[in-house]
Amino acid sequence: MDFKTEIAIALAKTADSDSDDILKAIEVPKASMGDYAFPCFRLAKTFRKAPPLIAKELGEKMSLPSCVERAEVSGGYINFFINKGAFAKAILENIITKKDCCIKTDMGKGETVCIDYSSPNIAKPFHIGHLRSTVIGNSLCRIYDCLGYKTVGINHLGDWGTQFGKLISAYKHWGSREEVENKGIDELTRLYVKFHKEAEADPSLDDEARAWLVKMQDKDEEALSLWKWFVDISMKEFSRVYDMLNIEFDSYAGESFYNDKMQAVVEEIKSKGILKESDGAQVVDLEEYNMPPCLILRRDGGTLYPTRDITAALYRKKTYNFVKCLYVTAIDQKLHFAQWFKVLELMGYSWAADELVHIPFGLVNLGAAGKLSTRTGHVVLMEDVLREAVEKTKVIISEKNPDLENRDETARQVGIGAVIFDNMYNGRIKNIAFDWKKILNFEGETGPYVQYTHARACSLLRKADYDFENMDTEGIDWNVLSDDASSELIKALGDLPERVVEAAEKYEPYIISRGLIEICQGFNRFYRDNPVVSSEGETKKARLALVYAAKTVIKEGLYLLGIEAPERM
């Protein structure tokens, strides 16, 4: 039982009220005001007395549970001060003895959450705009996993549509197999751009492109094999980035996967009587909901982005029976999702209203980093950003720790970790001003700072030469950890599991990042005030246990963000 519950039960007994109600009302006050506080205002009606008087009487009458050292009455509040030793024991024992992951719960009861993220477009650059979707989506997968959900990470690849007709046409005119094999997406992009330029002067190219798309739809062998080849070329490049980030998907069912499934859905929309013609196209009118109509079929009968999304959602519901399906894309797609979510609702699928969730995020503003080397001229590629981060980190490590053994591997973990952390240090909606100096600062509120603190803890533990995996927590004198710095660190460690739940509920990984920064700042304060390796006996044992717990929690927190935790740096 946690302390809050113990206090609630003791209070409920004295006040003769419901302990659940009391539990919900207990607050966490500012540090000097105690560890927990109960506001007596809510009892004023029942007791017909002023809250300060209730607080005074209750405070005097109640018998304190053993975890509480003392209670103080202040105005209408009763403030409780937890016994620091008991607090340390409860938090740290739990972290140390859980062999698996100390944050793990079975809250999700094995229910399924689908997470549609990253989802780049074939033959188009995997640019920095996709970076946020990729790292936020991956983090959400890990967070929900940790909370006992079954997660399905889906890469809804943009692998079908008019652009492929254009690309095939361009390739036939100006491309060569060799160039595409050698230069990959760069060359495909060049061809695509050239197509648009040439088509301005010669509109017959557009007809040609349309004809290729029709051939693709009709399963023409040449058209499909070229398409398949473009997909493979692109996937090879995307995979390099996913490998760098340590990301794997459970499904790569992209837009083309729904080609043979859309007809039935269009029929269904029609049969529900909500499809209507507009300028030759088929749309669902959404005026009543203050939105422009949702386009279902083009004038030429071609399907559209929303049609595929509606079909995919129905397929996923049937296949995975999700309790939530999340879509992690930039804020500029907000209307698109709102529109087709509504169409599903109008089709009679009421679950769409709360089970489908768009998880929008703000832009990455390149600012000073606009100087980033760009191969294509106008977009910044994700792979380039990650590589540059690694290179820059190599330089920093060479200065800070020239003898580090695993320099290249560590630079990879730290450089990439820095970029990921920066992407999730603020609420999603906030735009990011990309700034190398800021994200690679080992002392700021950054990924490297957290990783560095972790490595520092590891180094302390190495020096102690003790079998932490099989630590006997029974024999530890937890009262050693009663000083302010230790207590604050322990509190920050104990807070992380709640933060993970909050991060899941709000779809906001930054809540974890902030918790990690708090832990690291707490750790560094603790370490400054309390010698570890040079201390002795009971003191040393307890402090080492705290260092070990901090290391464990930092590593697990970083994992939830998708960041590795090197042991030396």
Residues 32-51 that bind ligand ARG (CB under 6 A): none
Among 101-109, 113-121, 292-300, 468-476, the segment contacting ligand ARG (CB under 6 A): 113-121
CB of residue 314 to ligand ARG, shortest distance in Å = 13
Instruction: Supply the minimum distance, in Å, between the C-beta of residue 342 and ligand ARG.
Output: 15
Residue with tokens 């970076």: 131
Would the CA dihedral through 55, 61, 67, 71 be positive or negative? positive
From the list 235, 563, 564, the residue with the least C-alpha distance to 424 is 563
Site for ligand ARG in 152-171 (CB under 6 A): 156, 158
127 is catalytic: yes
Q: Please report whether residue 329 would count as binding ligand ARG according to CB under 6 A.
A: yes
User: 3-state class of 246 per DSSP?
Assistant: coil
Which stretches of 182-333 are assigned E, i.e. beta strand? 275-278, 281-284, 294-297, 324-330
Q: Which two tokens stand for residue 115?
A: 């997470």
Give the nearest distance from C-beta 158 to ligand ARG in angstroms.
4
* Assigned token pair, 451: 């990783």
For residues 121 and 256, which CB has a smaller minimum distance to ligand ARG in the complex?
121
DSSP state of 27: B
Contacts with 193 (C-beta within 8 Å, 6 or more apart), sequence order: none
* E strand or H helix that includes residue 79: strand 77-82
The arrangement of strands across the sheet holding 294-297 comes to 275-278, 281-284, 294-297
As measured in angstroms, the least distance from the Cβ of 180 to ligand ARG is: 21
Annotated catalytic residue: which of 84, 89, 130, 454?
130
Which residue of 309, 355, 384, 508 would you call a contact of ligand ARG, by CB under 6 A? 309
> Rounded to the nearest whole angstrom, what is the least distance from the CB of residue 414 to ligand ARG in the complex?
29
Contact status: 340 vs ligand ARG (CB under 6 A)? no
Name the DSSP letter for residue 292: P
Tell me the window of 116-124, 208-216, 453-461, 500-508 that interacts with ligand ARG (CB under 6 A).
116-124
Distances (CA, A) of 220 to 166, 318, 384: 16, 31, 36
Indicate which residue of 124, 150, 194, 438 is catalytic. 124
CB proximity list for 447: less than 8 A, separation 6 or greater: 414, 417, 418, 419, 420, 421, 422, 439, 563
Q: How many CB atoms lie within 10 A of CB 242?
A: 17
User: Is the Cβ of residue 121 or residue 513 nearer to ligand ARG in the bound state?
Assistant: 121
Smallest distance from the beta carbon of 242 to ligand ARG, in angstroms?
Answer: 15
In the complex with ligand ARG, which residue's Cβ is closer, 322 or 452?
322
Structure tokens at 284: 């669902």
In the bound complex, what is the minimum distance in angstroms from residue 156's beta carbon to ligand ARG? 4
Alpha-carbon dihedral 40, 42, 47, 48, rounded to 10 degrees: 110
Q: Which one of the spans 117-125, 289-297, 444-452, 485-493 is the region binding ligand ARG (CB under 6 A)? A: 117-125
Rounded to 5 degrees, φ, ψ at 425 are: -90, -20
| DSSP-derived pairing of the beta strands 324-330 and 356-361 | parallel
Is position 256 an interface residue for ligand ARG (rule: CB under 6 A)?
A: no
Q: Which span sits near ligand ARG by CB under 6 A: 115-123, 235-243, 375-383, 403-411?
A: 115-123
**446 sits near ligand ARG (criterion: CB under 6 A):** no
CB 187, CB 179: distance < 8 Å: yes
For ligand ARG, the closer of residues 98 and 334 by Cβ is: 334
Active-site residue flag, 130: yes
Which whole-number Å values give the CA distances from 376 to 176, 190, 322, 380, 503, in the listed order?
19, 8, 39, 8, 36
Q: Give yes or no for residue 126 binding ligand ARG (CB under 6 A).
A: no
Query: Taking CB under 6 A as the criterion, which residues in 258-277 touch ligand ARG?
Result: none
Q: Which position has the token pair 């100096």?
A: 437
Min dist. Cβ of residue 153 to ligand ARG (A): 12
User: How far are the Cα atoms of 264, 339, 494 from residue 93, in angstroms, in the given order?
Assistant: 56, 50, 11
* One of 6, 116, 383, 508 touching ligand ARG (CB under 6 A): 116
Q: Which of 84, 89, 127, 156 is catalytic?
A: 127
- Amino acid in the structure at residue 119: S
Binding residue (CB under 6 A) for ligand ARG from 83, 121, 311, 486: 121
Cβ atoms of 213 and 164 within 8 Å: the answer is yes
79, 83, 112, 119: which one binds ligand ARG (CB under 6 A): 119
Toward ligand ARG, which CB reaches closer, 213 or 310? 310
- Report how many residues bind ligand ARG under the rule CB under 6 A: 9
- Does position 487 bind ligand ARG by CB under 6 A? no
DSSP one-letter code for 481: G
Could you tell me the smallest distance in angstroms from the CB atom of residue 193 to ligand ARG? 17
| Footprint of ligand ARG (CB under 6 A) | 116, 119-121, 156, 158, 309, 327, 329
Residues classed as catalytic: 124, 127, 130
